[in-house]
Structure 1
Amino acid sequence: MADRIKSAFGPYTDARDVVAGQDLTGKVAIVTGGATGIGIETAKALAGAGAEVVIAVRKPDLAEAAVAEINAVAKGAKASWSMLDLSSFKSIRAFAERWGDRPLNLLINNAGVMACPLAYTEDGLEMQIGTNHFGHFLLSVLLAPNLVAGAQSGWGSRLVSLSSIGHRRSPVHFEDPNFRHRPYDKWEAYGQAKTANALFAVGFDQRFKDRNVRAFSVMPGGIMTPLQRHLPLEEQKAMGWIDDDGKVREGFKTPAQGASTSVWAAVGGELDGVGGLYLEDLHEAAPWTKESGWSGVMPYALDPEQADRLWALSVKTTGAGA
């Protein structure tokens, strides 16, 4: 793919360098899961360029500390936080109601859960796809009018959906996405959820691009964050993520580096006029091959027909977005 879109940055660029020289004054961004990991680094980069950032989180103590850290580098508008539990449709609807009709320029769907034991959300969905996809789907379609309103300023709005190379572990199993009738495998469940995150960007972009709202999915790279909280150290060692001394293997990114592709997806000028793409290492990803290993995108994660099928399932599941 010689015509793949690329930025001027490398894979280990810090997020703050991606927005260096940009003025986001007057722009409003929501970052889910913005209290820790790459979420807070995404929020800090956007706030440092002048955007007003609201982090959507479920733990008030972490939220307060994160807001203070973000505001220490903010330029102009102050960051704030609002309660959001993506495993609860009630909580998501309450967040959207509090937001009201306020215009929104950037929605960064960053929060997620990875490789957890089998559990279900309060709405009866398998926890990983329920939180990572269906929760973000409901939030996004409820806030879609706000993104459209934000785009009317002449600065196109964007939605960023955090996916992962883990999507290669599984397409979406439409017959049983919630593991009610098939054996549960935590990595297959994670892969399915991350495929759904990529397909959602395809579907959202298709539906809102004519209103100047574009969507992208992002593979942030390997980063040690609270996302690994469900993985025992022995399992992380077995996968080669850390060595016997607890040292993270070469190639992993810092949280600030991991946030850079999300930030580029949100503000990169190279992406003007396009959407529905899967991005990694600050460029458009190539198709995955056995040789590419930890990079690339599977065809099923960008399939428009699969995206439409997932959209229909998500409408039925959440009751929103028809």
Structure 2
Amino acid sequence: MTPSELITTSFTPDSTADDVLRGVDLLSVTAIVTGASSGLGVETARALTSAGAAVTLAVRNTVAGNAVADQILRSTGAIRPEVRRLDLADQRSVADFAASWEGPLHLLINNAGIVTSDLQRTVEGWELQLATNHLGHFALALGLHGALRMGAAERDGARIVALSSTAHMRAGIDFDDLQFERRAYDPQIAYAQSKTANSLFAVDATRRWASDGIVVNTANPGGVATGLQRNFSARQKESLDAAEASGLFAYKTVEQGAATTMVAAVAPEFAHTGGHYLDESREAYTVPNDALLADHPHGVKEWALDPAMAERLWEVSAALVRR
């Protein structure tokens, strides 16, 4: 796709979530934001609530979630968000959350994510970053598909936003060793694989669900200092510091970081089209798989948008979560 064919918006790298939502009425919208007890999730939930949406905070720590809900109520004067427990690394928790959902759903923001500094596994033996960042959200979306289809029928479409990262440029999907059972564990590569998986989910989910009125897009929030970095290894911190020092990226505020998520969630330009990777509030340009991250900090690698790889990942993921 040439630059002239990419989907653009009027928003800039400095735009905030509130800028994107200015004049947008979400009074009849129901939304779920995962990982809404800290960082970008809090700002995303606050912004949606301020625009009138009925927001559910899907969080692992409900005490923290309720504190955020109270904070949002005080700052917006709108309806207090609902708080529900969701542990994306626990497939039973995901299934229970989806099964308990009643009524239509118009917007699902797959915001939650983790970074680990060493190899950790779930009870199934899955590598924890992939299990949480991709497989948990994958199972959640499958479980909520019926609610999203109802929401799409109500409002001429429903949307899912999958949060990825520039880190996706470090690695594609290693189908021969998805769970790091044979190769040496590198937490940066594991995180990158999970972020590529988030983008590939958007590609194949749109292919499968667009006929139901559901579109899925990927948002890269950019460099935002949040609790996600608390588990960085020394090597990860050094890599991040070097990228900042070289000018590869500049830190955004959480308000700016949530803007691209909000574009994918509400902007009319993405209402009926999915499978796109958004960066800086617009569709990113595609770069070859051998391109250097330093040369393309706002691009998206071919492997993150590859339809055949997306379909294969869907089938592998569905077999793992038994859906």
- What is the TM-score with the length of structure 2 in the denominator? 0.93
| Larger helix fraction of residues | 2
Q: Distance in 2 between matches of 1:65 and 1:177?
A: 37
SS in 1 for 2:161: strand
- Where does 1:77-156 land on structure 2 (aligned, <5 Å)? 77-99=79-101, 101-156=102-157
Q: 1:64 corresponds to which residue?
A: 66
Q: 2:279 corresponds to which residue?
A: 280
Q: 1:301 aligns with which of 279, 292, 304?
A: 304
Q: CA deviation at 1:74?
A: 3.9
SS in 2 for 1:122: coil
Amino acid at match of 2:151: G
Q: 2:267 corresponds to which residue?
A: 268
> Cα–Cα, structure 1 residues 78 and 4, in superposed 2: closer, same or farther, change >3 Å?
same
> Cα–Cα, structure 1 residues 69 and 220, in superposed 2: closer, same or farther, change >3 Å?
same
Structure 1 residues without counterparts, runs of 5 or longer: none
Q: CA deviation at 1:61?
A: 2.0
Amino acid at match of 1:274: T
SS in 2 for 1:266: helix
Conserved? CA contact 1:104–1:146, under 8 Å: yes
Identity %: 39
Q: CA deviation at 1:241?
A: 6.1
Q: 2:16 corresponds to which residue?
A: 14
Q: CA deviation at 1:70?
A: 1.7
Q: Deviations over 1:201-238 (max 9, x none)?
A: 00111111011110001111000000001125785255
Amino acid at match of 1:181: R
Q: CA deviation at 1:272?
A: 2.4
Conserved? CA contact 1:240–1:249, under 8 Å: no
Q: Distance in 1 between matches of 2:242 and 2:230?
A: 14
Q: Distance in 1 between matches of 2:249 and 2:125?
A: 39
Conserved? CA contact 1:236–1:242, under 8 Å: no
Amino acid at match of 1:41: E
Structure 2 residues without counterparts, runs of 5 or longer: none
SS in 1 for 2:80: coil
Q: CA deviation at 1:122?
A: 2.1
SS in 1 for 2:286: coil
Aligned pair 1:193/2:194, yes or no?
Answer: yes
- Where does 1:116-265 land on structure 2 (aligned, <5 Å)? 116-231=117-232, 235-237=236-238, 239-240=240-241, 251-265=250-264
Q: CA deviation at 1:293?
A: 3.3
Q: Deviations over 1:268-319 (max 9, x none)?
A: 0111221110001100001234363322000010011000000000110001
SS in 2 for 1:82: strand
Q: CA deviation at 1:65?
A: 1.1
Backbone CA RMSD of aligned residues: 1.9
Q: Distance in 1 between matches of 2:187 and 2:11?
A: 34
Q: Distance in 1 between matches of 2:167 and 2:220?
A: 9
Q: CA deviation at 1:68?
A: 1.0
Greater Cα offset, 277-286 or 74-83 = 74-83
Q: Distance in 2 between matches of 1:11 and 1:31?
A: 22
Q: Deviations over 1:172-213 (max 9, x none)?
A: 111111001111000110110000000000011111101111
Q: Distance in 1 between matches of 2:310 and 2:322?
A: 17
Amino acid at match of 1:18: V
Conserved? CA contact 1:160–1:215, under 8 Å: yes
Conserved? CA contact 1:133–1:197, under 8 Å: yes
Amino acid at match of 2:300: V
Q: 1:316 corresponds to which residue?
A: 319
Conserved? CA contact 1:50–1:75, under 8 Å: no
Conserved? CA contact 2:114–2:228, under 8 Å: yes
Conserved? CA contact 2:243–2:249, under 8 Å: no
Conserved? CA contact 2:188–2:236, under 8 Å: no
Q: Distance in 2 between matches of 1:235 and 1:52?
A: 37
- What is the TM-score with the length of structure 1 in the denominator? 0.93
Q: 1:36 corresponds to which residue?
A: 38
SS in 1 for 2:299: coil
